Amino acid sequence: MTRSKLLRALTVAGTIALSAVATTPAAHAAADACTHDWSGPQICIAADGQNGTANPGHVTASWTNPPKSRKSATVYLYQPDGYTYSFKAKRSGGEIVGHTVPGIQSDGNLCVRFKGSSHKACIDIRNRNGSF
């Protein structure tokens, strides 16, 4: 199997496994969502705040298929009020993960994007349904 076919097969297998986990109710996260682009980075956002409230709690951003050479990355958090700020994420095993606590948010989408990528993963602050 060529390297590109192997990489694509591993990406598909990983995404299928992640989808199975994402459809199982998670006790630790009130909301989570991931991008679904087979050729691009797999970016995810999770929040552990209480469902249906304006406080997302702790927000985790993850990049599940970064290049092996990447040890860290800058994450941009897009808030519903239009404000954007950044925080650092570090490699943890096979992914790059960062955490922040953004505080009370206005109604709308809370999104994360990693520097160098146009892919965003978003959650709705009020009803906590994942979107991308």
Structure tokens at 61: 């951003």
Is 5 contained in some domain?
no
6-15 contact pairs (CB < 8 A, 24+): 8/38, 11/38, 11/42, 11/65, 12/38, 14/42, 14/64, 14/65, 15/42
Q: What is the pLDDT of residue 131?
A: 54
Domain count, the chain: 1
3 within some domain: no
**List of residues 6+ apart from 84 with CB closer than 8 A:** 76, 77, 78
Whether 80 is in a domain gets the answer: yes
- Assess if residue 70 is contained within a domain: yes
pLDDT cut 90: percent of the chain above it: 46
- pTM exceeds cut of 0.75: no
Residue 1 lies in a domain: no
**Can you tell me the distance from the alpha carbon of 85 to that of 36, in angstroms, rounded to the nearest whole number?**
24
Is 95 contained in some domain?
A: yes
Range of the structural domain that residue 120 is part of: 31-125
Please report, for the domain that includes residue 86, its CATH number.
2.60.40.1930
In a domain, 26, yes or no: no
pLDDT tens track for 53-109: 788 999 999 998 888 899 999 999 999 999 999 999 999 999 999 999 998 888 899
Instruction: Give the tokens for residue 109.
Output: 């989408």
90 in any annotated domain: yes
